[in-house]
Amino acid sequence: MSISKNLQTLSGHIAKAAEKSARDVPDINLIAVSKKQPIERIHEALAAGHRLFGENRVQEAQGRWADLRGKYPDLKLHLIGPLQTNKAKDAVALFDVIETVDREKLARVLAKEMDKQDRHLPCFIQVNTGDEVQKAGIAIAALEEFYQFCIQECGLNIIGLMCIPTADEPAALHFALLKKYANQLGLAHLSMGMSADFEKAIPLGATYIRVGTGVFGAREELRA
C-alpha cells in the first residue's frame, strides 16, 4: 500500500471522527511518526505533501532530517521520545516542538539552550497518566507544580500535555485524564492517540495525533 493512500485513508478517518464529535478538522494535526522507517518512505510522505513528522530519538532524527530541512522549509518536526539532557542542544537545534518535557533538570537545560540558540520552541509536558514506575512523564501528583516551574522558573512556552497510555488499560481513560488536566491548567493542546487509538483520542480533544505504522507501515524492528 502506498503512503499517500495511507495518508488519504487517515484523513478520512480523522474527518469522520471529527464530525462525530463536532470538532473542526483543522484543529486535529496528524504527526507522521517516522522513527525506524526507511528514508524512501519519508520521501514518499513528503512527495504526498505531508509536512508534520515525529521522531523519538535525536540522533536518528538528525541523520535523516538535517538535510531535508533545507529542502522543505515548511517542515515541522516534533520530538516525541525521551530526551537526555546531553542531547538537549541538538534537539533544540533540530526540532520545532519538544513534546517530552518531564523533569526539572530537563526543563532547565532546555530553557538555557533555547536562550542560547534564540529558538524558543513550543513544548508539551509529558504526563505519566498511568503513574507507572519506570515510565517517562511527570507523575500526575506533581504536574501542577512542574507546570508552574516550567513557565515561571524556566520561561518555557508550554502549549499542552502529551501522554502514552498504558498497555493494559483502556486508552480513552488516559485521554480523558489528560484532557482534564489540560483544562485545569488552561492549556490548549493535547498530543494523544496513535495508530491503534487515535479515533478515541479525537472525541476527547486531541489536537495532535501521533501515527506511525498507520502512515508508513511496519517499522524495521517489526518486520520479519
Which of 17, 28, 45, 80 binds ligand PLP (CB under 6 A)? It is: 80
Helix, strand, coil % (nearest 5) of the chain?
50, 20, 35
Does 165 contact ligand PLP by CB under 6 A? Answer: no
Does 98 contact ligand PLP by CB under 6 A? Answer: no
Cα–Cα dist 153/28, whole Å:
31
Does 56 contact ligand PLP by CB under 6 A? Answer: yes
- Identity of the residue, 84 or 115, whose beta carbon is nearer to ligand PLP in the bound complex: 84
Does 194 contact ligand PLP by CB under 6 A? Answer: yes
Question: In this structure, what C-alpha cell is assigned to residue 208?
Answer: 495532535
Residues in the chain: 224
- What minimum distance in Å lies between the beta carbon of 22 and ligand PLP? 25
- Identity of the residue, 23 or 135, whose beta carbon is nearer to ligand PLP in the bound complex: 135
- Identity of the residue, 6 or 143, whose beta carbon is nearer to ligand PLP in the bound complex: 6
- The residue behind cell 502529551 is 162
Does 29 contact ligand PLP by CB under 6 A? Answer: no
- What minimum distance in Å lies between the beta carbon of 147 and ligand PLP? 20
Which of 28, 33, 42, 158 binds ligand PLP (CB under 6 A)? It is: 33
Cα–Cα dist 139/213, whole Å:
28
- What is the phi/psi pair of residue 161, to 5°? -120, 150
- The residue behind cell 519538544 is 98
State the residue number with the nearest CB to ligand PLP: 212
Task: Indicate the SS3 state at residue 131.
Answer: coil
Spatial contact of 209 and 194, defined as CB atoms under 8 Å apart: yes
Does 6 contact ligand PLP by CB under 6 A? Answer: no
Residues 96-121: b if buried by 16+ CB within 10 A, e if exposed:
ebbbbbbbbebbbbbbebbeeeeeeb
Does 35 contact ligand PLP by CB under 6 A? Answer: yes
Does 125 contact ligand PLP by CB under 6 A? Answer: no
Does 210 contact ligand PLP by CB under 6 A? Answer: yes
Question: Where do contacts with ligand PLP occur on this chain (CB under 6 A)?
Answer: 33, 35, 56, 80-81, 164, 194-196, 210-214
